[in-house]
Amino acid sequence: MNEWLWIPSIFLTMGLLVFSYYLFGKTGLLMWIAIATIIANIQVTQTVDIFGFVFTLGNVVYGSCYLATDILNEKYGKQVARKGVYMGFFSLITTTVLMQFSLLYTPLADKAALETSDSLHLLFGLLPWIAVGSLAAYLVSQLFDVFIYSKIRQKTGERKLWLRTTGSTVLSQLLDTLTFCAIAFHDMPFSIWWQIFITTYLAKFVVAWFATPFMYWAKRIHPTKQSTDAAA
């Protein structure tokens, strides 16, 4: 059953991203990054079995952030793409700080209130190393994605859009997975660590390839638009 949900979720997520760009332009992409980083970190608390492998949800929504920064890079330049990365990082920090602060409150001595409080602690009561790993992995990998995308574009120009989109993303996702696992699971036995690393990256790799057609779709939206924030 999960397999029948996971693949459509990729098309749904990437489609909503491009639709956000269609409706709101550059602002829609920046807004998407801020929203997606928060949603992905909530979804990651859900563990599921897909094709016989154990995955945490959030890889699809998180992968859409890379597509969003690639579209920003392609249409508006690397400076705007970096702005999107920093906005996503700020939204992650803000959510983490505010929700950690909210967990300090003592809930009402009522069954429903206590159950709600337990759910909030389950969702947002991150272990320190996981929180640090998530923040570090996001910032390092996203900035690397902007950098490598720009470098590939300098070599290819307007050609080979698939190469700079998929190439930059699969490399950045590798760095993201390595950074997160190295920090969050640094004290875990290597055999388990390696399994988590491989399955997590495999999911991100698949999402990166599925996202490529949506980059071509986004490229065709407002193809002749000229503005002061055009690509550098």
The predicted structure's pLDDT at residue 1: 80
- CB of 143 closer than 8 Å to CB of 63: no
Query: In whole angstroms, what is the distance from residue 47 CA to residue 102 CA?
Result: 25
The predicted structure's pLDDT at residue 51: 82
pLDDT averaged over 10-residue windows placed end to end, the chain, 232 residues: 89 95 92 93 82 82 94 93 95 90 89 89 75 90 94 86 90 93 87 86 91 91 50 48
The predicted structure's pLDDT at residue 127: 63
The predicted structure's pLDDT at residue 210: 93
| Domain spanning 2-219, CATH architecture | Orthogonal Bundle (1.10)
pTM given for the model: 0.87
Domain residue ranges of the chain, discontinuous segments joined by +: 2-219
The predicted structure's pLDDT at residue 121: 85
Chain position carrying tokens 């991150």:
126
> DSSP letter string over the chain?
-HHHHHHHHHHHHHHHHHHHHHHHTHHHHHHHHHHHHHHHHHHTT-EEEETTEEEETTHHHHHHHHHHHHHHHHHH-HHHHHHHHHHHHHHHHHHHHHHHHHTTSPPPSSHHHHHHHHHHHHHH---HHHHHHHHHHHHHHHHHHHHHHHHHHHHHTTS-HHHHHHHHHHHHHHHHHHHHHHHHTTTS-HHHHHHHHHHHHHHHHHHHHHHHHHHHHHHTSSTT---TT---
The predicted structure's pLDDT at residue 159: 84
The predicted structure's pLDDT at residue 225: 46
Virtual CA dihedral for 215, 53, 50, 212, nearest 10 degrees?
A: 10
Query: In whole angstroms, what is the distance from residue 104 CA to residue 86 CA?
Result: 28
